[in-house]
Every structure is written in structure tokens, then in C-alpha cells.
Homo-oligomer: A and B are copies of this chain.
Amino acid sequence: MTRLALSDADKHARDWFVKTTRDLGCKVTVDEMGNIFAVRAGIKNDKPPTFVGSHLDTQPTGGRYDGILGVHAGIEMLKVLNENWIETEYPVGVVNWTKYDDFQPTPSPAQAHPSLAKKAPAFPSLCPPPAQNLREVHPGTATMAEELSRIGYLGSVPASHEATPMAAHFELHIEQGPLLEIANRKVGIVTGVQAYKWLTIDVKGRDSHTGTTNLVSRADALLAASKMILHSHRLATANSALASTGILNLKPGSTNTVPGHVSFSLDIRAPADETVAKVLALVKEDFPKIAAGENLAGLNDGGTPSLPCSIDIIEDFDSPATTFHPSCIDAVTRAAHRVLGPGSKSLTMEMTSGAGHDSVYTGKRCPTSMIFVPCREGMSHNPEEFCKEEDCAIGAEVLLHSVLRFDRMREVQRVSWKQEPYTL
């Protein structure tokens, strides 16, 4: 499935979304970032709607569930409400967010680090840079505003939580990881999104001939980098964090030359900001020791002491942890237990999302939570992505009941909630 944001295929899906939600009685608005809001009236329409949302566009070679499931489940919610003549206390809505991974600001920090160019997370959807300042990442030079205009989705409403206030945002999504499947659970109650930092580690030794340079006389940047990659895995294990290297480049790159220069990425993640900060501090403390030739945790055991390498540790990107709203988490929890019935305790689990989502950004402005359903072998961003029909249905039902419960809670609890910084 390839349905890049603002492509012709995306226009097709957007047209379908607008027609379908209008046919279901919704009022549809489009903002200047192309986000589409479909709202079904409630009894009291002077307050903002409770929204569900996700995105219909996909990764360059994506699957059929990432994002799409969340929007479809929202439409299913609208249908069920209509078919059962249900009047909600407040309006409810469905959003199709414009995923703008595919566009980048110009000039952007990501362009200074080409390795990041296609992977920088989306900007907070509710306070984005102007669309005319965003340019396509994938081949092409159009700005986002040009492409929105081309497909007819350059709206006039400002892209802002003030122009389109939300009482809450719920998002159903496939897990994109293996934890639910491994634990044999049906529903993940998502309490937040983990923190992460991206680093570039630059190790410099000395190019030398593999045949004429004995081990003692080497400053082997790749051997040092290998020890650091292994050590980062051990640091992650010790701190219940994640550490991953996805990019590694070396120079000069010939079979008979010991590499004098290695540059690699390090992605550190954990549910808490403090954990990520702790692992980062350990990396900053230990990597220079490894480069200098110290025997850290037995890495040098059985090896030959050699010449030191130098090291630079560059912090490229920082995404602090997101904590979802207790009321929304509560709504999801109660909805899940209601949908799954007896034995539901062993079918749900609280979890932290490893990946970013639209809900990370709504969570900055309104009460938010997410619902995860299992996907096969945790695979995502891949045509093999798969979620069972039965699990999609459970997820959609939990989403519906989360919204209904939240709608009722808004009415009942509105006094006590006045302390919250949100407009409920």
C-alpha cells in the first residue's frame, strides 16, 4: 500500500472520507494543513466535540492498517451511532489527519543531516509551520500548500487547536510491535508514548593497511564502534531501555584498509525521560573511554591493546515522553473491559507506545489516549502488516465505547474537571 500524503491516491481516499461522513450526517471542515474534521451533532453543541482520528495516508511502502484502521473505526462509530439512533450529550467527530512525514520545512535541521531527512517525526499537527514552507521529501519539489491546492484540500480554517477545539482525542491503532501478540492480549490500553533521543556517534582512528599494520599499531574506528554498539545494548538492558543502531557508514571502505572513520546512529528510547537521560549520560561517559582504549565491562578481554580513537557525540533529535490523560485512559480501560466481558483482565494490558502517533500531538492540547490491537509478528511499515478482522472489530468497539463513556463523563464530572487546564 503506497498512498503518500497529498498524492492522487490520497485525494481519492479523502474524497471518499468526505462523501461518506457527509452521507452519515456530519458537517465537514478542512483546515489549511488539509486536516479534515467530520462532526456529528450532539444534544449540546456549544462545546467542542469528542474526536477520534488517525490518518488515511501511508508510508512509501506501507501496509493496510497503520493509520487507516483508526479512521475506518471512526466511520464505523458514526454508523453505529446512526443505526442505533444514539444521541450523544456533546458532538462527536472523526479526523483524517494529514501525515506530513512526506513534507519537510525548508531549510530544516533534517536537511543538514541527510540521514534524518526522511525519518523526522511529523510536527505537532496542531501548531505546524505554514504549508507553503513545507517541501516534498520524496522526489519532487512542490510545497505542501501547492499539493494541497492541487488536490483541492487547501482549507481556509487555521490549523490550530483554537480554531478547531477538541474535548478529547481517541485513536485506535495497530501496535506496530510484538508485545500484545507475545502476551496473547487483545487490547493495549496506551498510557503514553515513550521518550527518545537520536544521536550520531563519530569515531576517528587512522586508516592503515590490513596486512602491514600489526594489531598494536592500529587505531581501528570500526572495532571501537563495534564495542560501542555492543555496549549500548548492554546499557539498554541494564536500564530497561532500548538502544539501536540503524545507520553505520565507514571510510575509506576497502577490504585491505583498517577504517579510520566510522559514523553511526544511536536511537535511545524508554517510557520515562529520566531513563533516556540516564542512558545518554552513560553513553557520554563510557563511549569516550571505549574510544580511548579502556577495558570497559571486559570488552577488551582477549584482545590486543591498540592506539586510541577520538570521538564526537552529536545529539540530533529529542522527543520527550508523552503521558496520556487519566480520564481518557480510564475511559479506554472501562470500555475494553465492557467489550471483552468476563476474563477481560487477562486480555488487556497497559502499555507505552514505542512509535510516535497523531495522538502525541493532540495530547499536548487536549485529553488524549490510544487503543492498540495486535498485529502479526509486530510488523508494520511493510506490505506484510496484518491485523485479524476479529481484532480490528474489537478495537473499533472499544473505540466506540471509549467515546460514549467520555461523552457521559464530561456531563457528570464537569464540575470537578474544572481544575483541569482543558475545556471540556
Contact = CB atoms under 8 A, between A and B. Distances in A.
Interface of A: 115-116, 118-119, 175-179, 182, 194, 196, 198, 207-215, 217, 220, 222-223, 225-227, 229-230, 233-234, 236-238, 242, 244-248, 250, 252-259, 265, 267, 269, 297-299, 301-304, 353-356, 378-382
Contacts of A237: 215, 302-304
A246 B255 contact: yes
A143 B224 CA distance: 42
17 contacts: A118-B254, A177-B211, A177-B212, A182-B217, A207-B382, A209-B354, A211-B269, A225-B226, A237-B303, A237-B304, A238-B302, A244-B258, A246-B257, A246-B259, A257-B381, A297-B301, A298-B298
Contacts of A356: 211
A176 B175 CA distance: 56
Contacts of A250: 246-248
Contacts of A226: 225-227, 229-230
Contacts of A254: 115, 118-119, 246-247
A213 B182 CA distance: 12
Nearest to A304: B237
Contact of A302 (B234, B304, B382): B234
A213 B255 contact: no
A107 to B, nearest CB: 20
B234 A303 contact: yes
Contacts of A297: 301-302
Contact of A215 (B176, B225, B233): B233
A113 to B, nearest CB: 9
Given A212-B354, A303-B230, A248 B248 contact: yes
A301 B298 contact: yes
Given A230-B299, A303-B237, A267 B247 contact: no
A174 to B, nearest CB: 10
Contacts of A236: 215, 304
Contacts of A178: 213-214, 217
A230 B223 contact: yes
B217 A303 contact: no
A214 B244 contact: no
Nearest to A207: B382
B302 A214 contact: no
Contacts of A242: 210-211, 213-215
A115 B212 CA distance: 20
Contacts of A116: 255
B302 A176 contact: no
Contacts of A354: 209-213
Given A115-B255, A246-B257, 12 more contacts: A115-B254, A176-B209, A208-B378, A211-B353, A212-B353, A226-B230, A227-B230, A233-B303, A247-B253, A247-B255, A248-B250, A256-B355
A258 B380 CA distance: 13
A267 to B, nearest CB: 5
Nearest to A231: B302
Nearest to A355: B211
A380 B256 CA distance: 12
Contacts of A176: 209, 212
Contacts of A253: 246-247
B304 A217 contact: no
